[in-house]
Amino acid sequence: GAVVSQHPSRVICKSGTSVKIECRSLDFQATTMFWYRQFPKQSLMLMATSNEGSKATYEQGVEKDKFLINHASLTLSTLTVTSAHPEDSSFYICSASPDRGETQYFGPGTRLLVL
C-alpha cells in the first residue's frame, strides 16, 4: 500500500525559531500534497494544498509567510513554521495524493511544541 512518512515525528523548539517538517511519499509520486493542523480534541483543519513545482494554495486565515510550503519534487513537500510561537504548538499532518486529491494517504504526523 501507499506509504507516506513525516520527519520529525516530534519536535520541541524555542519561541522565535523556525522548524521544518518533511513529508515524503515513499512508493508513489505525489502530484498533490496537503498540510493539515490539528489542535487537541479538534478535527483536522486544512492549511494548504501544494502541487509539485507550483506555489501552494493557502486556506483562508493561514499566513503564507509564516507557514512556508515547498513541493520541490513529486515525492517531497516541506512545511516550515517560521518564527514559531507557543500558539503554533499543534499536530501537523500531511497527506499525499497520486492524483489531484481523489485519493489521499496520510503521514503519521509531527507533534510540534514551542516553548
Which positions touch other proteins (CB under 8 A)? 32, 34, 41-46, 49, 51, 57, 91, 93, 97, 100-102, 104-109, 111
Q: Least CB distance from residue 3 to other proteins, whole Å?
A: 12
CA distances from 73 to 51, 58, 67 (A): 9, 19, 18
Amino acid at residue number 34? F
Q: Which is nearer to other proteins, 40 or 86 (CB)?
A: 40
Q: Which is nearer to other proteins, 44 or 76 (CB)?
A: 44
The CA-to-CA distance between both ends of the chain, in Å, stands at 37
